[in-house]
Amino acid sequence: MTLQPEVAQNAEKLVNDKGGFPKQQQQPPGLTSEMTPLPDHGEQTYEGSGKLSGMRALITGGDSGIGRAVAIAYAREGADVAISYMPDEESDAQETKKWIEKADRKAVLLPGDIREQSVCESIVADAVAELGGLDVLVNNAGFQMARRDSMLDITTDELDRTFKTNLYALFWITQAALPHLAKGASIINNASVQAYQPSPGLMDYAATKAGITNFTVNLAAEVGEKGIRVNAVAPGPIWTPLQPATQPEEKVEQFGGDTPLGRAGQPAECAGAFVFLASPKDASYVSGSVIGVTGGKAVF
């Protein structure tokens, strides 16, 4: 695995003098093509070395953001990749499919709203059927809404959307996937620095991410005897479509500027952590762990 130095240099060039990005807004869930500047998913910078050769991965929310970066990295490491996504994110999914296939790997597109248990079950079943099995599950899909000032502003509909996307779906998809995972397989959950340093405006989102870290440790203990590893990555402020789609414009402008590194991160800067955790060789004794990719913010 090689992530060329240019990825960090490019990430620094993409931010403004506040560490964030130009003011902009989209409607949730947001599209990559409408972002300024476009995120770096490792399209020009990630070089694989066969760490996941012959493996089969399912990535939820794999159409854009961190999910797309992981899909590109996994494909370049030799894995076939299935991605799930919301139907209105089809254009982003097609772009990710293009990059997977450019790496000469199989790409499987699985649209559907994972807030429905039946959709979660069918996504896993279809991924297994199309890929011929499953070795890596990446529970990456997530939702947040930060355009509010108090928990009193959180509506029941927003609470349902956040908890069902971030936690219910994680349970349902993992339950459906476990019977298909054998010794050497791994589950990688996308947590967040919000689990450790919660922002008041993201109270519901932060609560789900804290739940994901707990889920990760609990499940690792349960399935360890089967040789299945369970870990999580906790990203900090990463430039994905969720940011302009759910943050006020003024926060987009300053997004990530409060990190010790002084800037937001790019999706490509998260990919290596997901590759490491998926590798049955490099991470063979790593389970129940959370890797922070936060620009210096603590995850403990």
Query: What is the DSSP code (8-state) at residue 51?
Result: T
What structural domains does the chain harbor?
2-293 (3.40.50.720)
Alpha helices in the chain (DSSP H): 6-14, 65-76, 90-102, 117-131, 156-163, 169-177, 203-223, 242-246, 249-254, 268-278
State both tokens at 291.
């890797």
Given a contact cutoff of 8 angstroms between Cβ atoms, the answer to whether 78 and 105 are in contact is yes
Catalytic residue among 46, 74, 85, 205: 205
Distance CA 256, CA 245 (A): 16
Q: What amino acid is encoded at 240 in this protein?
A: T
Residue 194's φ and ψ, nearest 5 degrees, are -65, -20
The band of 96, judged by pLDDT with boundaries at 50, 70 and 90, is very high
Query: SS3 for 214?
Result: helix
pLDDT band, very low/low/confident/very high, at 300 (cuts 50, 70, 90): confident
Q: For strand 136-139 and strand 107-111, is the pairing parallel, antiparallel, or unpaired?
A: unpaired
CB hemisphere CA count around 22 (13 angstroms): 10
Which pLDDT belongs to residue 147?
Answer: 73
**Annotation marks residue 285 as catalytic:** no
The closest alpha carbon to 205, from 267, 250, 244, 148, belongs to 148
Average pLDDT, the chain: 95
Alpha-carbon distance of 200 to 212, in angstroms, equals: 18
Whole-model pTM? 0.95
pLDDT grade for 5, boundaries at 50, 70 and 90 = low
pLDDT band at 1 (very low <50, low <70, confident <90, very high): low
CB burial of 32-56 (b: ≥16 within 10 Å; e: otherwise) equals beebeeebbbbbebbebeebbeebb
**pLDDT score for 47:** 95
Q: Per-residue pLDDT tens for 149-203?
A: 888 999 999 999 999 999 999 999 999 999 999 999 999 999 999 999 999 889 9
- pLDDT tens digits, residue range 110-128? 999 999 999 999 999 999 9
Which of 203, 262, 265 shows the shortest CA–CA distance to 234?
Answer: 265
Is the per-residue pLDDT at 4 higher than 70? no
